[in-house]
Structure 1
C-alpha cells in the first residue's frame, strides 16, 4: 500500500462527475461482493475446523460487509446534491451510519470474547487445518484483487470513502496471513492456546477500531472544527492576498466528505462594494484550489471598525 502523497503524485485525466460517481459506486459494490464471498467461504471453514482464530476473521468479514454497505450508502449520499429540504447537503448521513456500524462492531467483539473464554475453559483441538489454510489463502487472494481495483479508483477519483475502505481491507490482508500462522502453530505444534489467544487479540482490535470510528462519527455530528493544520492553512491562504487586511470569526466543520468554511474578511474601509466582492471571489477561488468542493461563506468587514467578536482558540 502506498501513502496518500503517492496517490496525489499520480496524474490522470480529469473525470466528469458522472464518471467519478460510476467508479466510486463500482468500487463500493466490489467491496460488498468481495465481503459476501469471504463470509461464505470462511463460514464453511469455521464449521469444518472450529478455529476461534478463523471465527474472528469470519466476524471481521461480516463487519467488512457492514462497512462496505455503509460506504455504498455514503457514496450515494455524497453524490446527491443539496436539495430544498437539505440545504447543507447530506453529509451527516455518513457519521450516523458510522454510529450504527459501531454498535454492530462492539456486539461482534463481545460475542467473540465469549467464544474465546469458552475455548480457554474447555480447550478444543483445531480440526481440518488444511481446509482452514486453503480458505485463508483464497481470502488473501480475493482481498488482494479487491485492493488493486480500489487503488485504481482512488488514483482516478481521490475518494476518501474508497481510500478508507482500502485501508480496512489492507488490515484484513495482514490479519488473514496471521490466522494462517495461528492455524499452523495450533495444529502442527500442539499449541492449542494459540488459537483462542489470537481470537482474543482480534476481538480487542475490533473493539479498539469501533471506538475510533465512534469518536470520529461523534465529532462530525457535533460539528467539530477542522484540524488545526487545515485551519492554519486557511488563514495563510486568505492573508496571502495583497488587498486583504486580515480575517476573524473563522468557523469550520466537516460532514462526511464535505467541508464548510466561513469567516469575516477585513478590507479597506473606503473600498467599493464591487471591489470587495471581487477580492472575496478571488480568495474563495484560491481556497477551493486547496479544499475542492468546500462550501465557503465570506462576510466582508471594513478594517479597523470595532465590532463584537466571539473569541475562539
Structure 2
C-alpha cells in the first residue's frame, strides 16, 4: 500500500471518493424509497435505511476529509488529521443504529406476518444498486491504496456490505413472492441487520487506532529504520515513536552519533537524515534528538533496556526490530 502522496494530491483523491459516495448514495436512496413503498418489504426497507445512512455518512466523510486536509494552525499545531477518524466513528454509530432499527422491524414482521408485493420492481432497483456500488467500490479501492484514508476506508466497508445486502433483498423478494416462502423477507432483513452490526465493528477498529495514536504497522516501521540505517554516520537509534493522524505521519526518535562531533556536525547529520526520510516518506513530520554515542537518555536508562548501549542498538536498524 502506497500512501506517499503530497497533501494536495491526497486531498483531491479523498474528496473525489467522498463525492462519488454522495452521488451514489443519493441515487440509491431515491430508487429504494420508491421500491420500499411499492414492495412493502422489510429487506428493502433495511436496504433503504442503509443507503440513507450511507448518504449521511458520506456527507460526514466529505466534511471530515476536508477538515483533515486543512493545514496546521495556532490552535491545532499537529494539523486536523483526526477529523477523518471522527467522521469514521460517526459512520460506525449510524450503522449500529440502523442495524438495531432493522432488527426491531424484522422481529415485528415475523410475529405479525405479512407478504411483499411488486417483487419485480424491487429486484430491478436492487440490480441497479449493485451496478452503481461496483463502480464506486472500484474507485474507493484505488483511493485507499493511494492515500490510506481511514474515513474512505470506513465508507468502503459500507458499500462492500451493500453488495450482499442488495443480493439478499433480491433473494428475499423472489422467495417471498415467487416461491411462497412468506418468512423469507423478515429473515433476510434480520440477516442484513446482523451484517450491518458486524460491519460497524470492523469499521471502528482503524478509526480507534488513529484516535489512540497507535504505532505504524511493523512493515512500515522496518522500512523507516532501513532508510536510517543507510546513513554512514548514524551509530544507533532508540525510543522510536510513530503515529498517523489523517493524512499526516509523525515520527520522533533519538539518534546516536559520534560523541566527538561538534554541535554543527551533529546538526548536519540530522539534516541529512531528515532529507532521506522526506524522500522515502513525503510529508512526514520528524523530530530527532541527537545523542552522543555511548550515552543513553535518562528515559532509556529507566527502561527495561537500560543495559544496552546506543551502539548495541544499531543492529535493530538493520533487522527492523521494534526499538
Q: TM-score range by the shorter chain?
A: 0.7 to 0.9
Cα displacement (A) at 1:162: 4.3
| Alignment size in residue pairs | 302
Residue 114 of structure 1: SS of its match in structure 2?
helix
2:169 aligned residue = 179
Map 1:1-313 → 2, pairs under 5 A? 21-150=11-140, 158=147, 160=149, 161-162=151-152, 165-166=155-156, 168-310=158-300, 311=303
Does the CA contact (< 8 Å) of 1:56 and 1:199 recur in 2? Answer: yes
Q: Aligned equivalents of 1:35 and 1:218: distance in 2?
A: 25
> In 2, distance between residues paired with 1:146 and 1:178?
19
Once the two structures are TM-superposed, the CA of residue 151 in structure 1 deviates from its matched residue by: 5.7
Report the CA distance between 1:298 and its aligned residue: 0.9
Query: 2 CA distance for matches of 1:162 and 1:219?
Result: 15
**DSSP 3-state at the match of 1:265:** strand
Please give the root-mean-square deviation of Cα atoms over the aligned residues, in Å: 2.8
How does the TM-score come out when normalised to structure 2? 0.82
Q: CA deviation at 1:242?
A: 2.1
Report SS of the residue matched to 2:250: strand
**TM-score normalised to the size of structure 1?**
0.85
Measure, in 2, the Cα distance between the counterparts of 1:197 and 1:70: 31
SS at match of 1:112: helix
CA contact (8 A) 2:88 2:154 kept: no
- Offset, 1:210: 1.8
Q: 1:35 offset after TM fit, Å?
A: 0.5
- Contact residue 68 and residue 82 of structure 2 kept, 8 A: no
Question: Any conservation in 2 of the 1:70–1:94 contact (CA below 8 Å)?
Answer: no
Any idea what SS the aligned residue of 1:38 has?
helix
Structure 1: which 5+ residue stretches go unaligned? 9-13
* Contact kept in structure 2, 1:24 and 1:159, CA below 8 Å: no
Structure 2: gaps spanning 5 or more residues: 305-321
Q: Secondary structure at the match of 1:309?
A: helix
